[in-house]
Structure 1
């Protein structure tokens, strides 16, 4: 029995494309089982199953906006109110106070359908200096996950049915292990689906508020490719040399204080050994030639 289950698992532990094919086949069989619909109607139903219209697509919105304001704390309170009024919440709040140079970085999680309206409202609280909006279409990933989850649920149910029919202890142990593995894979897929659902339902907006005298530090993007590697390597070399010189500067006084006396002692010992070492005359050479 467990060999049949393992063979079934190997057959169905495939790619998402095969999962979508099985999901489509199940969608074609459903109308026939329910009301005996014609094959043509079943094909039309399967073809119309995924709704990929613009308003039905799964899109992740992320944005950032920089606004210069007169009073950072007061305008930060307004930003919080705008987020709450839109049904969102504060994901992060970091502030630095100063005399006219205060800054605040606030991360908002806003419902996707109110993303643009909230960005425009925040831009109106001061002088907008920078705005960036990014979108990522994850519709195919969502459809793929849905199909894989349905297939994995079917595999879990089939494993449980075979587990209930186990006749020997070996079959029971193997089936329990296989069912646990399938349930773990299903839980992983469902976690990915929840993560995507969170990102698509709630957009992320990073709001940067600047005081009247606050300066914006723009380091710029690091160059890519060979120039990027050369720049990073040079920076690493300079940093390493700085550390090395710092260590040498800390050790130099100790080297001078301990090294010079040690060198003087070694020099005197060598001279003393040279004076007390007897000079051995070389032995005379014995001629071996015959007269």
Structure 2
């Protein structure tokens, strides 16, 4: 029993000894690397370093050099979506639009859309959407506002840094998920497993493509700012003419217009009375050729019939004579 125990103890001691040697070698190597890294800095400082040491010795009573401040962690890149709307009144919309195009192209941007129309046949209005890089956003805005009289201006800036970082993280996670599913498909041997993994892979790839589309949209909106410019020309009024009195031709034209108006209204009135006149004409025809002849025949027949003889009235038997009556 002692033989195996002694052998095990000897092996453990050997392992510990080797580990101690390795640790000491690593410590020495680290110390050497630190010294080699510090040597060029001391060599480069020269007399200034000596003065620093002296001044530090005088302040603290010790000759120990001051330690350098730790570096600050780098801040994440800020992502902003900038939009602006301008309304400018100009003398010539075509020239102002050409100037806006030139300013946009010089800044490295492009025209996204444009709409130009003529209003009331007197002046032109234009609406143009410009996409310019973030670096030239302010300069282009200043150039566009100077093309004429600024009527209104609205600018907006939205910080989407957190959204951009979140989408990037989700894309990395989704890609790793897709890769895991693909490795499982390579290892699958049963048909049911392959079908299930293919369905899961399709779903995860669709999610990955949606995230990539969001990332592309965010990149486009944070890289290029959007400026909507509305250009309107000043209304051109017709020159005023002196008010002159009416002449012979004006009176003749006015009378003719009045005559035409009266005739027109008379025609409208006759057209409105025409149905009534037609109905009255029909009633008169019925009376004239149907009702009236019948009434005439009835009257003629009544007149031609013999009248009955009058009855005789008997005279009184004894009529008193009142002519010679005396009082």
Q: Give the Cα separation in 1 of the matches to 2:115 and 2:206.
A: 38
Gaps of 5+ in 2: 1-69, 237-327
Q: CA deviation at 1:101?
A: 2.5
SS in 1 for 2:82: strand
- Conserved? CA contact 1:159–1:175, under 8 Å: yes
SS in 1 for 2:88: strand
Q: How does 1:105-184 map to 2 (within 5 A)?
A: 105-184=127-206
TM-score (ref. length: structure 2): 0.48
- Conserved? CA contact 1:153–1:186, under 8 Å: yes
Find 1:91's aligned residue among 85, 89, 112: 112
Runs of 4+ in 1 over 6 A off after TM superposition: none
Q: CA deviation at 1:48?
A: 4.8
SS in 1 for 2:169: helix
2:297 aligned residue? none
Q: CA deviation at 1:161?
A: 0.5
Q: Give the Cα separation in 2 of the matches to 1:101 and 1:213.
A: 6
Find 2:90's aligned residue among 50, 66, 69: 69
Q: Give the Cα separation in 2 of the matches to 1:129 and 1:175.
A: 61
2:299 aligned residue? none
- Per-residue displacement from partner, 1:132-172 (whole Å, max 9, x unpaired)? 10111111100110111111011011111110000111111
SS in 2 for 1:57: coil
- Per-residue displacement from partner, 1:15-67 (whole Å, max 9, x unpaired)? xxxxxxxxxxxxxxxxxxxxxxxxxxxxx9xx957x33xxx211000001111
Q: CA deviation at 1:87?
A: 0.9
- Per-residue displacement from partner, 1:212-236 (whole Å, max 9, x unpaired)? 128xxxxxxxxxxxxxxxxxxxxxx
TM-score (ref. length: structure 1): 0.54
SS in 2 for 1:102: strand
Q: CA deviation at 1:100?
A: 4.7
- Conserved? CA contact 1:100–1:212, under 8 Å: no
Q: Give the Cα separation in 2 of the matches to 1:94 and 1:179.
A: 45
Q: CA deviation at 1:127?
A: 1.4
Which of the pair has the greater relative contact order for Cα pairs under 8 Å at 6+ separation?
1
SS in 1 for 2:99: helix
Gaps of 5+ in 1: 1-43, 215-291
SS in 2 for 1:87: coil
Q: What is the total number of aligned residue pairs between the two structures? A: 166
Q: Give the Cα separation in 2 of the matches to 1:72 and 1:165.
A: 68
Q: Give the Cα separation in 2 of the matches to 1:134 and 1:101.
A: 30
CA RMSD of aligned residues (A): 2.1
1:202 aligned residue? 224
**Greater gyration radius:** 2
Q: How does 1:228-267 map to 2 (within 5 A)?
A: none
